[in-house]
Amino acid sequence: MPEGPEIRRAAHELGRALVGRVAGRVEFLVPRLAAHGARLSGQRIVAVTPRAKAMLIRFSGGQTVYSHNQLYGRWQVTRAGREPATARALRLTIANERHVARLYSATDIEVLDEQGLAAHPYLARLGVDLLDPLTTVHAVRAAAEDARFRRRSLAGLLLDQGFYAGLGNYLRSEILYVTGLRHEERLGSLTSADRQRLADTALALTRQAYRTRGVTNDLERAAGLKARGVPFTAYRHRVFARDGEPCWTCGDTVLRTDVAGRGIYYCPTCQPGTGTATAKRARATRRREY
């Protein structure tokens, strides 16, 4: 599933192709939305805005196309006249004189006015957006102090868009690894220093993933592995999708456990949890590395 960094990169690509230009053709291949195509065709696109894992495309007439990629959705931009070779199901086309933007496979698509945007259940419940340039570490830390979340386990909390908006499965595992925390721990059981570390890491690592097209590994290590010819998928992450492989830091075997059908990857040595001398040493190691 695309996470916040991937959606924001897609938004910037869409923005470069669409914003300020008239959408000569807008076509929905979702029957319940088909009538909107004719209404939006001929309008100018004034903004493309990512909101966590959602995309908002605003038209000059005041309506906004909302889409959420969910598990399989994908935006693709091509030059006008080029037809992508893909077996994906086309859901939406927005075309101008230069470019064509196509949304494939997504099923969560709506056309909303201002009132609809304000009341949208996904948008209305979003927490602090880690990729919003205006978001500060103080705001991220404040969410970690919110009493509403104290009883939640980190496994579920880091996927809750009402907590840190934009996080998904790979970022969850990577953030927990860097902080030396375990997925079963509850936010309320963490020390103040742990919560600060969680806030710092969530903000920094999510923004690193955006800048580097999804690389959450130590950047010096990743560069060295790339120079040796290691494939991108093998050097991209610290622990995510590396079950059975040795931890980059300690050499112990990376493990996987499933929580609510979603895989969490962790190193039992580098992530012993809180409250022990071993845990303190592991977190100190994570700080030096990161």
35 and 167 inside one domain: no
226 labelled catalytic: no
- Per the structure, the count of domains in the chain is 2
Q: What is the pLDDT of residue 277?
A: 35
pLDDT at 285: 53
Rg of the chain on CA atoms, in Å: 21
164 and 102 in a common domain: no
Active site residue 3: yes
Query: Is the distance from CB of 270 to CB of 247 less than 8 angstroms?
Result: yes
pLDDT at 70: 86
> Catalytic site residue 280?
no
Instruction: Verify that 13 and 42 share a domain, yes or no.
Output: yes
Query: What does the pLDDT read at residue 278?
Result: 42
Number of H helices, E strands in the chain: 11, 12
The answer to whether residues 132 and 69 belong to one domain is no
Candidates 3, 6, 27, 174; catalytic one? 3
Statement to judge: residues 132 and 86 lie in one domain: no
* 126: nearest Cα among 202, 50, 31: 50
List the pLDDT tens digit at each of the 290 positions of the chain.
689 999 999 999 999 999 999 999 999 999 999 999 999 999 999 999 999 999 999 999 999 999 999 888 999 999 998 988 898 999 999 999 999 999 999 989 999 999 999 999 999 999 999 999 999 999 999 999 999 999 999 999 999 999 999 999 999 999 999 999 999 999 999 999 999 999 999 999 999 999 999 999 999 999 999 999 999 999 999 999 999 999 999 999 999 999 988 999 999 999 987 754 344 545 555 554 54
User: Which one of 124, 140, 162 terminates a domain?
Assistant: 124
Q: Domain of 98?
A: 4-124
Residues 112 and 153 grouped into a single domain: no
Q: Point out the catalytic residue in the list 21, 25, 262, 280.
A: 262
Assess whether 49 and 171 both reside in one domain.
Answer: no
CA distance 131 to 282: 28
CA–CA separation, 176 and 163 (whole Å): 15
CATH classification of the domain holding 243: 1.10.8.50
Q: Given 92, 124, 156, which residue is the final one in a domain?
A: 124
Last residue of a domain, one of 68, 96, 124: 124
Do residues 153 and 100 both lie within one domain? Answer: no
Res 281: pLDDT: 44
Q: Which residues contact 94 (CB under 8 A, 6 or more apart)?
A: 18, 23, 25, 26, 45, 57, 65, 100, 101, 102
Residue carrying structure tokens 């955006």: 210
**Of 8, 9, 53, 91, catalytic:** 53
Q: Provide φ and ψ at 28, rounded to 5°.
A: -100, 130
Return d(Cα 93, Cα 133) in angstroms, integer. Answer: 29
Residues 109, 175 share a domain = no
> Is 173 in the same domain as 273?
yes
CATH code for the domain in which residue 88 is found: 3.20.190.10
| 143 lies in the same domain as 64 | no
Measured distance CA(117)–CA(123) in Å, rounded: 7
| Side-chain half-sphere exposure of 274, counting CA atoms within 13 A | 19
What confidence score (pLDDT) does residue 289 get? 55
Order the strands of the 90-95 sheet from edge to edge.
Answer: 25-28, 90-95, 99-104, 74-79
Q: Based on the fold, state whether residues 140 and 270 are members of the same structural domain.
A: yes
Catalytic site includes residue 2: yes
User: The whole model's pTM is what?
Assistant: 0.89
